[in-house]
Structure 1
């Protein structure tokens, strides 16, 4: 082997040793991910167009608000960093984690496929329920009412709504679209009989565009959890987030913030079943 070949080989081996050493350090240091976030000065958070009131974009300034953004800003403040919004969709979250575009996701449902690359917190931040929006005057009492070939149900691609529909409505015709706005358009155009969303989202949509809100039986609860990328050194990060979630729930902070958010937007929560609590 030539002199230069030996140098290149040595450099390659050295780089490999360095990477291995960094990985070992991260595995030994449970706070490695926390240290990385703090050193970067930012917490990269997902934000989504058309997902009010959780994510609200000001068209004039491009600034983001909403209760999910409020929660994540609180976390960033405790870490001593700023929030950096990253526009995405629910279906792209796993890929965003793998490509290091985001540091956290909020309001997500545990998903075995995403669970291959994502760590979910076991304690949900809050719990809502799956609901449907139908044309005015056409409420739905049970999921079985939609489970016929004559019914067309619209859901968002790669979302938990799609999983719910495929499980409970195998006989229905499913229309899969990229985002919430397209789902609303399908319903408004008369090309769908119902769209599936979490009940809090459905209430927001109904306030804006009209329609009938139903929480069909059997009521399906919808845990809204936090998730982080699975990587060496994230144990301390998960511990920090778990303690934050438990404080938010046990002191009523999460429930209070959510109720105020909906109240501020004129959303009536009286549609919620008597046996439901978030």
Structure 2
């Protein structure tokens, strides 16, 4: 006598085998050009802009228009993609949240940060190299990170930025005051509530021009690679690869360095303070 399974059991078994087979199939990989295509389709490249970050970001008080070398790079990339630049006002400390919320598509001048790296992908090739400096009030002459690591020293940093990481790592004994924006830090020094402010050497040059404060490059010199960041999400591989190619061309042909020199010269900022061994 031949044994036969009931029809409903045969149907159930067939369905189970189909599902089991699907379960062991590898998931389909996301389209590596998904993000790049999305930006092109939207017609917009959303970039962060920040108050008090001249000459990287400069806002015209009369028109509200944003310029500066970071905006120049934004327009270069947008032109290649056939889209327009859309400024999104923010702060360094809010960048990670802005990326996570999908408010921005790209950010310039970022320093690789493991905490932000949970939501931000950094290009491996830096657009330029910076170094950490301090701007100091008159009479302050400490010139090493070791000397700055003292309870009597009052340091100002921008909240959520890499300068805060540097301060907490190298000068934990100092009094550290985080502020939201660079102009607020300058005001702390001008009011006598701070001895020095940790900033990049290029920002230090700008502050020195505006205030007359002295610039010190503490030893040992800490280099500060300034790279590009994009949101960490599926389908951004093609976007990252394309941007890396763009950065490599900018550096290889001297275009990035030339843009920086011109931006500072146009604003009357003297870069002669940069040490001979420093190259960006």
Q: Give TM-score scaled by structure 2 length.
A: 0.89
Matched with 2:180 is 178
- Number of positions where the alignment pairs a residue of Structure 1 with one of Structure 2: 255
Are 1:139 and 1:212, in contact at CA under 8 Å, matched by a contact in 2? no
In structure 1, how many angstroms separate the alpha carbons of the residues matched to 2:106 and 2:124?
15
Are 1:97 and 1:118, in contact at CA under 8 Å, matched by a contact in 2? yes
In structure 2, how many angstroms separate the alpha carbons of the residues matched to 1:191 and 1:143?
20
SS in 2 for 1:222: strand
In structure 1, how many angstroms separate the alpha carbons of the residues matched to 2:141 and 2:240?
41
Matched with 1:6 is none
In structure 1, how many angstroms separate the alpha carbons of the residues matched to 2:259 and 2:28?
35
2:106 to 104, 107, 115: 104
2:201 to 192, 199, 202: 199
* Uncovered stretches (5+) of structure 2, i.e. residues with no partner: 1-25
In structure 2, how many angstroms separate the alpha carbons of the residues matched to 1:252 and 1:127?
13
Structure 1 residues 139 and 272: alpha-carbon distance in aligned structure 2, compared to 1, 3 A threshold: farther
How far 1:26 moved relative to its partner?
9.3
Matched with 1:249 is 251
Matched with 2:80 is 78
In structure 2, how many angstroms separate the alpha carbons of the residues matched to 1:142 and 1:108?
24
Query: Which has the larger share of helix?
Result: 1
Are 1:26 and 1:32, in contact at CA under 8 Å, matched by a contact in 2? no
Question: Is 1:262–2:267 an aligned residue pair?
Answer: no
Q: Give TM-score scaled by structure 1 length.
A: 0.89
Structure 1 residues 210 and 171: alpha-carbon distance in aligned structure 2, compared to 1, 3 A threshold: same
Question: Is 1:134–2:133 an aligned residue pair?
Answer: no
SS in 2 for 1:176: strand
Which has the higher Rg, Structure 1 or Structure 2?
2
Structural mapping, 1:93-242, within 5 Å: 93-242=95-244
SS in 2 for 1:129: strand
Are 1:31 and 1:236, in contact at CA under 8 Å, matched by a contact in 2? yes
How far 1:27 moved relative to its partner?
4.2
* Uncovered stretches (5+) of structure 1, i.e. residues with no partner: 1-23
How far 1:139 moved relative to its partner?
3.6
How far 1:171 moved relative to its partner?
0.9
SS in 1 for 2:272: helix
Per-residue CA distance 1:107-133 (angstroms, 9 max, x = gap)? 000000111111100000000100000
